[in-house]
Structure formats: structure tokens, C-alpha cells
Amino acid sequence: MSFFANLASWWNALVHRTRVDNDIEAELRFHIDAHTQQLIDSGIPPREAERRSKIEFGRVDVQKEKYRSAIGLQPLQEIGGDLRYGLRSLYRKPGFALVAILSLALGIGSTTAIFSLIYATLLHPFPYDGAD
């Protein structure tokens, strides 16, 4: 039961990301405004009330990050950030990217080629019984 609730909220957070983001922001703004109003009602001048309310609550975007960590999506968020960072730095240094990709390609390619050769000539058993 709780497992499905988890899935549903992860699905929401990932697929409807913008909407969830907006919702959280709206909710937190509502909180700050309501608290401001309460401070004003208690006799604090409006501007000072708003300032205090904001200081007490902290930054809204920090809170949004906390939301992700609260529902356990923080690691995913960080991996996503690392991936984007990696792709961007490859894009920024095409020469480096080319060398890296080529060396990987050559490395994997030659290893596979040599293994195939050795497998076919030395390791591969003949397709009948008592091959030795």
C-alpha cells in the first residue's frame, strides 16, 4: 500500500516535475504570506513583518531541494546533474572528447577482435563429441 504511494509520488516528482515544482513554490509562498499577515496583525509594520517571515523560513529554492531529499530522490537529482555536467564539458572540449571516445572505441574494438580470434582458433571446441 505504502509502496504504491511511494511510486505515485516519485512518478509525480519526475514526470510532472515543473508542476510539482510550482506547487511547492506556491505552497511555501502561501506559508510565508500567511505568516507575514499574522505578524502584521500582531502589530509589526508590513515591511518588517515580511522581512522577518522570509528570514525565519529560509530560501524557497533550498526548501525545494529539501523536498526532493525528503521523498528520497536526491541521489537521482545528483546523478542527473553529474551527467549533464559531463556532457557539457565534453561539448566544450571537442578535441578531448574525440580522443576519449576514440581511445575507448579502439580499446574495446581491438580487445573484442583479438578475443574473437583467439576464441575461434584456440578455445572454441569442435562441434562434435570427443574433439580431442
Partner 1 sequence: MDKQVELLQGTLEILILKAVSLGPLHGYGILLRIQQISGERLQIPQGSFYIALYRIEHKGWLKGEWGESDNNRRAKFYRLTPAGSRQLKAETEKWSQMTDVVDGILRAKPEQI
List interacting residues with partner 1 (CB under 8 A).
1-2, 4-6, 8-9, 23, 26-28, 30-31, 33-35, 37, 56-58, 63, 66-67, 69-72
Half-sphere exposure of 130 (CA within 13 A, CB side): 0
By residue count, the chain amounts to 132
Shorter beta-carbon distance to partner 1: residue 3 or 91:
3
Shorter beta-carbon distance to partner 1: residue 2 or 18:
2
Give CB contacts under 8 A, 24+ apart, made by 91-98: none
Question: How far from 68 is each of 32, 40, 80, 96, CA to CA, in Å?
Answer: 20, 32, 13, 34
Shorter beta-carbon distance to partner 1: residue 4 or 128:
4
End-to-end alpha carbon distance in the chain: 60
Which is it for the CA torsion 33, 38, 39, 44, positive or negative? positive
Question: How far from 25 is each of 11, 34, 97, CA to CA, in Å?
Answer: 19, 14, 39
Shorter beta-carbon distance to partner 1: residue 9 or 90:
9
